[in-house]
Amino acid sequence: MTAAPRRLPGRLLAPAPGWTTMADVVIVGSGIAGLTAALRLRGQVGKVLVVTKDVLNAGSTQWAQGGIAAALGPGDTPEEHEWDTLVAGAGACDADAVRVLVTEGPEAVRELIALGTNFDHDPDGALSLTREGGHHRDRIAHAGGDATGAEIQRALIAAVQAAPDIEVIEHALAVDLMLGSGPDGVERVVGVTLHVMGEGQRDGIGAVHARAVVLASGGLGQVFTQTTNPSVATGDGLAVALRAGATLRDLEFVQFHPTVMYLGPDSRGQQPLISEAVRGEGAFLVDGPPEEGGSRFMQGVHELADLAPRDVVAKAIMKRMLETGAAHMWLDARHLGAEFWERRFPTILATARSHGIDPVTELIPVAPACHYASGGVRTDLDGRTGVPGLYATGEVACSGVHGANRLASNSLLEGLVFSRRIAAVLPGELAPWTPLRTDRRPSGLIDAEVRRELQEAMTARVGVLRSAPGLTEAALLLDKLAGCVAATPDQESWETTNLVTVAAALADAAAGREETRGSHWREDHPERDDLRWGGHFDVTMTDGVIAAAFVPAPPTDTLPPGALPPGAVPADTIPAEPDGAA
């Protein structure tokens, strides 16, 4: 007898809308991707409405520390940035999307500067650029030392607030996308239902009728117990897109940041990030205090040692933790000195001190924690999803630039570049106003009480290190949780339903990929296997049942025979050592 398939809500159980409004384009999310889309679309499409789950700066952009990567420094080229991105992505990138990212990136960053973002500069006035894992050049622009995201968010919010034609609704959870039949008879997105915790006319559930919706709602970090993501990152955009018929791609590639401050085994939710830029400025990992015999362990693991791509460092930390039985490793940045710490990393310094660790005199305890969803709603090069009228950009999207492991500081850039591209095509694609059709998707709701159990199972079984038995246990638990229905719709149960939905898609893709690639680490399949697993897992939902299908694609990180990576110097052009040189 075959077990009945796991059935998830095909839409969220919610009261009928108590209010309605209209906007030509609704943008869901207010980080770099959402606000860039709004600023670029205004003036082109009638009314632009930004809806955001909390206040404008509550999303992940605000928390970005390291910076934004682009080939802006002397000697750097988009080709070198492209190669570093493809290598970090472990063969699973979309080569065309990466080319778009690196070639349009420099201009997009210059535009951000023109908008009023104050990036840091060297004493000679040049843009200050640093290095992070996987980069072979200094190419990370930063602001306020380690407060890059906060400065970008500030500049974007100021620009949006100065634009009277952009309307904003805060405290608005996107509950579901509304569907209708377009003039061609094809199903399309015709708006979004919201739950607004507001006052007056727009309070509770409402319907926003629209001609297009742009999802820019960020990631899914809250699927796990410890994450660098803020509490709003509950995968809502991914879940609403899946329920509306969009495809999710590469969800198994969840990036665990190697150096998240370890606050103890019971710490939950958002944890303090210790930016990779700290290693970029010379900090290194040790398996114990050097004074007590601890040593560095990244040398010999990778040519870039402590600045290897993020997946390599996270795995090396986990391996050392397993070997030594320690709950964390340490970051030694004491030699950077008080003056440097205060100037270059003021936010991290203050946060570490607030948790009782002074990085100027003490080692910082660190362990990997969930940081970034490299996959998301599958889009083409212009942010179109497979559902007419629905676009996606930023972390919620899978444009193909990150592959199996995002290169450090490419995420802010992705939001910037692909939102510009959406704004270039969307106005020409706007459909006439289309009526909503009766929604036949099976509605439902999962009990908010299961959130903690979900997070713990996902962390233990579908976290940094995965294997078939653990993934099977996770699948069984997800079957059980899908049946834990709630009767009373509220924000907690909507979010929990989204978390379970996204976790199920992620776990199914992770179970399918029987190899180790990038941030997907299978204990039982420790090697990368291009022959069987070169390609992507695409997840779709029909009548509440999700299915993961494998789509083969050739690896994108292999050079033709004899070719050198960009920036490499051919051996025969390296001058020979003079006779007698040591």
Q: Minimal distance in Å, beta carbon 66 to ligand SIN?
A: 3
- CB crowding 442-461: b at 16 or more within 10 Å, else e: ebbbbbbebbeebbebbbeb
Q: Are 160 and 166 in contact, with CB atoms under 8 Å apart? A: yes
SS3 content of the chain, % helix, strand, coil (to 5): 35, 20, 45
Cβ nearer to ligand SIN, comparing 194 with 412: 412
Residue 576 has a CB neighbour count (10 Å cut-off) of: 7
Residue number, 97 or 260, with CB nearest to ligand SIN: 260
From the CB of 298, what's the least distance to ligand SIN, in Å?
15
Minimum CB separation of residue 271 from ligand SIN in Å reads: 13
Contact with ligand SIN (CB under 6 A): which of 10, 66, 368, 376?
A: 66
**Tokens 């019971």 sit on residue:** 266
Q: Which of the 8 DSSP states describes residue 335?
A: G
Strand 329-332 and strand 364-373: pairing?
A: antiparallel
CA distances from 521 to 134, 312, 395, 508, 528 (A): 18, 10, 21, 15, 9
Residue 242 CA to residue 239 CA, distance in Å, equals: 5
Query: Given strand 129-130, what is the order of strands in its sheet?
Result: 68-69, 140-141, 129-130
Give the shortest CB-39-to-ligand SIN separation in angstroms: 22
85 binds ligand SIN per the rule CB under 6 A = no
- Quote the CA–CA distance of 361 and 333 in Å, as a whole number: 9
Q: Rounded distance, CA 10 to CA 520, Å?
A: 28
Distance CA 10, CA 268 (A): 29
Q: By C-beta, is 297 or 372 nearer to ligand SIN?
A: 372
By beta-carbon proximity to ligand SIN, the closer residue of 80 and 276 is 276
Interface with ligand SIN by CB under 6 A: which range of 15-23, 76-84, 339-347, 407-415?
407-415
Closer CB to ligand SIN, 189 or 314, in the complex: 314
Contact string (CB under 6 A) for ligand SIN, positions 257-286, x = contact: ------------------xxx---------
Query: Residue 61 gets which letter from DSSP?
Result: G
Assigned token pair, 143 = 């602001």
Please identify which residue in 60, 61, 62, 65 interacts with ligand SIN, judged by CB under 6 A: 65
Name the residue among 472, 469, 475, 478 with its Cα closest to residue 523.
469
Q: Is 310 a catalytic residue?
A: yes
Is position 409 an interface residue for ligand SIN (rule: CB under 6 A)? yes
Q: Backbone phi, then psi, for 233, in 5-degree steps?
A: -80, 70
**367-379 burial string, b = 16+ CB within 10 Å, else e?**
bbbbbbbbbbbbb
How far is the CA of 71 from the CAs of 180, 280, 416, in angstroms? 43, 17, 15
Q: How far apart are CA 507 and CA 499, in angstroms?
A: 12
When the beta carbons of 94 and 276 are compared against ligand SIN, the nearer one is: 276
Q: Say which of 139, 310, 421, 461 is annotated catalytic.
A: 310
Query: Closer to ligand SIN at the Cβ: 252 or 276?
Result: 276
CB of 99 to ligand SIN, least distance (A): 20
Residue with tokens 């398939």: 5
Among the listed ranges 119-127, 317-325, 406-414, 424-432, the one in contact with ligand SIN (CB under 6 A) is 406-414
One residue of 100, 313, 408, 504 binding ligand SIN per CB under 6 A: 408
Select from 251, 275, 242 the least CA-distant residue to 261: 275
Of 225, 271, 411, 501, the residue at the interface with ligand SIN (CB under 6 A) is 411
Q: Which residue is nearest to ligand SIN (CB)?
A: 66
CB of 287 to ligand SIN, least distance (A): 21
Residues in the chain: 582
Which CB, 176 or 276, lies closer to ligand SIN? 276
CB of 229 to ligand SIN, least distance (A): 11
Tell me the number of residues near ligand SIN by CB under 6 A.
Answer: 9
Give me the least distance between CB of 119 and ligand SIN, in Å please.
15
Check binding of 312 to ligand SIN (CB under 6 A). Answer: no
- Active-site positions read 310
Q: Which chain residues interact with ligand SIN by CB under 6 A?
A: 65-66, 275-277, 372, 408-409, 411
